[in-house]
């Protein structure tokens, strides 16, 4: 009798904790809570996740804003649209209920959509491009065009090239005249930045099929154990960042007094940034990868366009040598008959200011445009580059 009482006493708190854990993650889900068939979005101002079914009214609105005419294909098929993982692949920005949001999408969805209709425009590059380019603005002006976004976080030329060659390997058709925009980031061209195998997890997410979970995994999933582990690990990581990386300027909150106008903000950047005197040069292997990619696309009747994107003053200072820019000198190594290079980094010409890099919560992010900046830049990019290219594409067809 005493033994049973001891078991009950010990088991009861555990049962209550499990129930509390289940209730908490039902009310406050995290990135691991989603099912792949749901749409996953994050509010940039509150950082709250929201999941919704694709067939709902708001789900259809989001799909239309982010995929244009591909939305009907997504609605009529059970393709995974989001990935239940903490890894971030492509996080494009858009407006939902007048607030800035980002979409967490499954990297394999791009290939499923391509099977139904070849794209007119392909995006390649890293987070600097999926934060700079507004799909929503693009589709508002070109609702009849098909766009597929192959950008992904921490990208390199190796993974950008793999994306295109994998499409070819599974028999997808490249439409002649397709424009392939590669949003160029200085960092991803450095030999020290990542390597050829840095995105294996992305490749696995694209190529692998979901396996049915075991009974133990189903129980663990029902009790929300993966979510709990993720949140505990994230909390510990954030604490580590607070202790050891608090002095890093990257994505550091700044005082509102510097945000009154652009002049004050620029003074703050120039006083806070550390000048790097190291001579930065493009990695020869990465240059070769891009040249080979351009040749591959040319054989498919497509055109590779390298785009030098807007950069903040902070990022320029950090990566410059002795106060002068080396990027234009290095990009000359990529002058090639199969490659078009376009410089759209001029902030003033594109109606941008340094304040277009400030995200909600006064966060200083030296590379990623906020949603207002992305909308302005995309409108300028279309007017200066895309509209003409897409018009020529219409002539080809």
Write out pLDDT tens, residues 250-280. 667 788 888 888 888 888 887 877 766 676 7
Q: Return the CATH number at 295.
A: 3.40.50.1110
Mean per-residue pLDDT, 162-178 = 96
**Which pLDDT band holds residue 55 (cuts at 50, 70, 90)?**
very high
- Which ranges of the chain does DSSP label H, i.e. alpha helix? 2-27, 57-67, 71-75, 109-116, 127-132, 135-141, 157-169, 200-207, 215-222, 225-244, 262-272, 284-299, 313-319, 327-331, 371-381, 387-396
Distance CA 391, CA 120 (A): 11
Model confidence pLDDT, tens digit, residues 71-87: 999 999 999 999 877 66
Residue 280 lies in a domain: yes
Residue 8 lies in a domain: no
pLDDT > 80? residue 182: yes
Residue 12 lies in a domain: no
Mean per-residue pLDDT, 358-372 = 85
Mean pLDDT of the chain: 87
Residue 284 lies in a domain: yes
pLDDT > 90? residue 315: no
Nearest one of 110, 128, 111, 102 to 43, comparing CA atoms: 102
Return the residue matching tokens 């020290």: 192
Q: How many domains does the chain have?
A: 1
Task: List C-alpha distances in Å: 322 to 274, 279, 316, 325, 354.
Answer: 11, 9, 11, 9, 22
pLDDT > 70? residue 244: no
- pTM greater than 0.75: yes
Domain interval for residue 170? 31-396
Model confidence pLDDT, tens digit, residues 331-359: 899 988 889 999 998 888 899 998 999 88
Radius of gyration of the chain (CA): 23
Residue 141 lies in a domain: yes
């Amino acid at each position: 009798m005493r033994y049973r009482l001891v078991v009950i006493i010990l088991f009861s708190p555990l049962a209550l904790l499990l129930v509390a854990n289940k209730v908490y993650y039902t009310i406050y889900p995290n990135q691991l809570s989603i099912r792949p068939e749901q749409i996953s979005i994050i509010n940039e101002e509150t950082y709250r996740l929201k999941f919704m079914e694709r067939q709902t009214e708001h789900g259809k609105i989001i799909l239309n804003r982010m995929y244009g005419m591909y939305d009907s294909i997504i609605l009529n098929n059970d393709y995974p649209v989001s990935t239940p993982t903490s890894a971030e692949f492509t996080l494009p920005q858009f407006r939902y209920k007048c607030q800035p949001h980002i979409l967490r999408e499954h990297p394999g969805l791009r290939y499923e959509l391509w099977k139904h209709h070849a794209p007119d425009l392909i995006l390649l590059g890293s987070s600097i491009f999926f934060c700079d380019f507004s799909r929503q603005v693009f589709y508002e002006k070109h609702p009849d065009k098909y766009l597929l976004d192959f950008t992904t976080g921490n990208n390199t030329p190796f993974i950008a090239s793999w994306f295109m060659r994998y499409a070819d390997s599974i028999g997808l058709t490249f439409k002649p005249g397709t424009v392939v925009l590669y949003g160029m980031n200085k960092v991803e061209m450095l030999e020290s930045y990542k390597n050829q195998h840095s995105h294996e997890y992305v490749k696995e997410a694209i190529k692998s099929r979901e396996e049915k979970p075991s009974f133990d995994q189903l129980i663990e999933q029902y009790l929300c154990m993966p979510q709990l582990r993720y949140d505990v690990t994230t909390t510990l990581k954030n604490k580590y960042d607070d202790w050891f990386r608090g002095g890093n300027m990257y994505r550091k909150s700044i005082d509102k007094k510097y945000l009154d106008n652009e002049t004050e903000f620029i003074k703050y950047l120039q006083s806070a940034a550390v000048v790097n005197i190291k001579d930065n040069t493009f990695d020869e292997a990465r240059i070769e990868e891009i040249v080979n990619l351009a040749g591959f696309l040319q054989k498919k009747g497509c055109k590779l366009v390298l785009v030098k994107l807007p950069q903040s003053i902070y990022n320029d200072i950090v990566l410059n040598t002795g106060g002068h820019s080396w990027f234009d000198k290095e990009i000359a190594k990529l002058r090639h008959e199969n490659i078009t290079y376009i410089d759209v980094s001029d902030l003033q010409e594109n109606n941008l200011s340094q304040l277009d890099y400030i995200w909600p919560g006064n966060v200083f992010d030296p590379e990623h445009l906020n949603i207002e900046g992305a909308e302005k830049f995309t409108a300028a990019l279309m007017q200066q580059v895309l509209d003409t290219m897409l018009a020529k594409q219409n002539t080809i067809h």
